[in-house]
Structures are given as C-alpha cells and as structure tokens.
C-alpha cells in the first residue's frame, strides 16, 4: 500500500480540494476507496469547458451532488453555459448551511438567481457573473458578506422606485469590498 492511501479520508479530501473537481474526479479510478472521495471535498469547482457535452456535464454535476449528500461545502464555484438546473444546484449548496464563498458564472442571458442567495447567513464572499436581478426578497440580509464581485449583472430599477442594486447593498451591513464590471441599471420588462 502506498503512503497516500494510508491517510485518513479527511486528509485525502483536503489534498483533493486543491485540484479542479474534474481532475479530482479522475482519482476515483485508483481504488474502490477513492471512488467517491472527490465528491466530499470542501471546495466544489464545477466548471463546464467549451468542449464538454451539455448532457455529460449536467449528469456529472447531478452525480457529484447526489454522492456528496449533505456534506458541508465551504466554497462552491459553478461556471456553465447551458443548464436549466443551475438554480437547483445552487439551492442544494445553500441548504447545506456551510457555504462561505459562492461563485456563479453563467453564460446564459436573462438568468435569474434563487432568492435564497440573498438571505444566506454564512456567505462571506459572493461573485456573480451573467445574471439579471429583478428584485430581492423582503428578508434579504447577507449578514456575513464582506466581499461582493459583480460582472455583467442587470439590476431592475422599477421595484417601487428602489433599485435592486441599492437594496442589495443595503442587505450587506459588513461589506468591506465591492467590485462591479459591465453592470446595468435599467427597467426590466415584466
């Protein structure tokens, strides 16, 4: 038996957390013990590459989330071009109650975020790319959020004369860092 295989699962998971998930998943062929270890990493980076088949990527993400069950996730990154399941995947992560860092990058026009994001008490860092934020829930409060990065995000200005962007900033009482690029404030047709 090699030295790595004699390590406890949590140490192996920590080591695997430094690899992109796709490469970490390739370790599953090493032995039966390693078959699902990659899915229990505290960092899940689900990145769809240009040459990935849509169905294969969706099946891979569904499989990883099913295998990992309710294990705690500290950082969740999702980057994909096509999927009707992004909201379900994001809700799955948020419902685990442990996500500190959420990075969502979608190449899809007019994508709407699940409202649970704006009431997450554990998020410390939030990165959003390629979204439309029409309105925030009344209970919007990101009480732990310190870093907010927005890119290509559209905000609705027609919400009772209160801009969704202003409401988002108001929901972040401990915000220390804000960066935004190519964001738009405008009236969105309902």
At residue 12, the pLDDT reads 75
Show the domain range for 169.
41-186
**Which residues partner with 184 through β-bridges?**
154
Determine, yes or no, domain membership for 118: yes
Average pLDDT over the chain reads 82
Model confidence at 64: pLDDT above 60: yes
Determine, yes or no, domain membership for 68: yes
Where residue 164 falls among pLDDT bands split at 50, 70, 90? confident
Determine, yes or no, domain membership for 157: yes
Does residue 61 come out as left (phi exceeding 0), alpha (psi in the -120 to 50 range) or beta?
Answer: alpha
Kindly report, residue by residue over 13-50, the tens digit of the pLDDT. 777 777 766 777 777 666 666 667 766 777 888 888 76
Determine, yes or no, domain membership for 143: yes
Determine, yes or no, domain membership for 121: yes
Tell me which DSSP letter residue 106 carries.
Answer: E
Kindly report, residue by residue over 78-106, the tens digit of the pLDDT. 988 766 788 889 999 999 888 999 999 88
Count the Cβ atoms, other than its own, within 10 Å of residue 104: 22
- H or E element: which one contains 75? strand 75-80
Structural domain count of the chain: 1
Please state the separation of Cα 39 from the chain's center in Å: 15
pTM of the complete model: 0.80
Please state the separation of Cα 22 from the chain's center in Å: 16
- Spatial CA neighbour of 23 closest among 51, 54, 46, 7: 46
Under 8 Å between Cβ of 164 and 136: yes
Where residue 120 falls among pLDDT bands split at 50, 70, 90? very high
Model confidence at 159: pLDDT above 60: no
């Amino acid at each position: 038996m090699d030295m790595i295989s004699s390590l406890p699962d949590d140490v192996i998971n920590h080591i695997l957390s430094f690899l992109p998930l796709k490469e970490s998943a390739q370790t599953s062929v090493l032995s039966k013990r390693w078959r699902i270890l990659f899915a229990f990493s505290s960092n899940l980076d689900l990145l769809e590459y240009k040459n990935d088949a849509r169905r294969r990527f969706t099946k891979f993400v569904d499989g990883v989330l099913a295998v990992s069950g309710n294990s705690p996730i500290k950082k969740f990154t999702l980057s994909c071009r096509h999927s009707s399941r992004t909201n379900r995947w994001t809700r799955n992560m948020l419902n685990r109650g442990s996500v500190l860092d959420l990075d969502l990058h979608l190449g899809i026009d007019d994508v709407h975020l699940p409202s649970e994001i704006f009431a997450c008490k554990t998020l410390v860092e939030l990165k959003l790319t390629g979204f439309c934020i029409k309105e925030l829930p009344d209970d919007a409060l990101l009480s732990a959020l310190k870093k907010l990065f927005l890119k290509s995000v559209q905000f609705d200005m027609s919400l009772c004369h209160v801009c969704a962007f202003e409401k988002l900033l108001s929901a972040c009482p401990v915000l220390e860092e804000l960066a935004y690029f190519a964001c738009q404030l405008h009236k969105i047709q309902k």
